[in-house]
A and B are shown apart, each in its own frame.
Chain A
Amino acid sequence: DGGITQSPKYLFRKEGQNVTLSCEQNLNHDAMYWYRQDPGQGLRLIYYSQIVNDFQKGDIAEGYSVSREKKESFPLTVTSAQKNPTAFYLCASSMRRGGPYEQYFGPGTRLTVT
């Protein structure tokens, strides 16, 4: 089955620790995205990548880092510098050529930091 996988589904960390969220896609999409969703809120863009080895900051990049070494993978690291890391994190991907360009989302990772 083609799709986007995120792991783990639930993640718990102590304050001050860095944590890495996994995102893998087998849709052969070039572009990948990370969003943060807080309870009852919309989607806020953290980082996005249009091509391997290149990525750009979104609206709320502070305290986060990413890498894009492979087309299929776009891991997100939540660093200790992120003041309010507890949230639901969503990874998405989209085509880059040929369209349509809407984004397809993974199932999400719920991160709780105490």
Chain B
Amino acid sequence: QQQVKQSPQSLIVQKGGISIINCAYENTAFDYFPWYQQFPGKGPALLIAIRPDVSEKKEGRFTISFNKSAKQFSLHIMDSQPGDSATYFCAAGPDNYGQNFVFGPGTRLSVLP
């Protein structure tokens, strides 16, 4: 079974700080890497995604960094806010239909006011 490893399991950051969550995958056939944000009692919501043809993608305060050779990617949340407190899941999969994404175990982020 292909795995996606995610760290840390939990993260506490002060308001205004940078939150960094790391993921690593095994399957070199994976070529699409979305991140999801989940608030308690809600379904995960797509946050940002990247393909391996770029090393970085930025949307507002959220940035994905991608290292294809190391098979690693990370989510950076700049100027972290208390409203960012949620569980974040990384995922990896092939960018075509018929295959399924593999999800990381999640990181619980708490941003202190």
Binds A, one of B14-22, B52-60, B69-77, B100-108: B100-108
- Is B43's CB under 8 angstroms from A100's CB? no
Count of interface residues, chain A, beta-carbon cutoff 8 Å: 31
**A50 contacts chain B at the CB level, 8 A cutoff:** yes
Digitize B87-101: 1 where CB-to-A-CB distance is under 8 Å, 0 elsewhere. 001010111111011
Which residues A57-107 have CB closer than 8 A to chain B? Answer: 58-59, 90, 92, 94-97, 99-107
**B62 contacts chain A at the CB level, 8 A cutoff:** no
- B-side interface mostly: loop
From A6, A97, A105, A110, B44 is in contact (CB under 8 Å) with A105
Query: Cβ of A104: which chain B residues have Cβ within 8 Å of it?
Result: 46
Q: Given A101-B32, A101-B96, A103-B101, check contact A41 B106 (CB 8 Å).
A: yes
Query: Cβ of A95: which chain B residues have Cβ within 8 Å of it?
Result: 97
**B42 contacts chain A at the CB level, 8 A cutoff:** yes
Query: Cβ of A99: which chain B residues have Cβ within 8 Å of it?
Result: 95-96
Query: Cβ of B98: which chain A residues have Cβ within 8 Å of it?
Result: 50, 96
Query: Cβ of A4: which chain B residues have Cβ within 8 Å of it?
Result: 43
Alpha-carbon gap, A103 to B41, bound state (A):
18
Alpha-carbon gap, A4 to B45, bound state (A):
12
Count, A-B residue pairs, CB within 8 A? 62
Alpha-carbon gap, A76 to B98, bound state (A):
20
- A-side interface mostly: loop
Chain B interface (Cβ < 8 Å from any Cβ of A):
1, 32, 34, 36, 41-46, 49, 89, 91, 93-98, 100-101, 103-106, 108
Chain A interface (Cβ < 8 Å from any Cβ of B):
4, 6, 30-31, 33, 40-43, 45, 48, 50, 58-59, 90, 92, 94-97, 99-108, 110
Q: A100-B32, A104-B46, A107-B42 are in contact. List 17 more A-B contacts (CB 8 A).
A: A6-B43, A42-B89, A42-B105, A43-B89, A45-B100, A48-B100, A50-B98, A58-B100, A94-B97, A101-B32, A102-B49, A102-B91, A103-B101, A105-B43, A105-B45, A108-B41, A108-B42
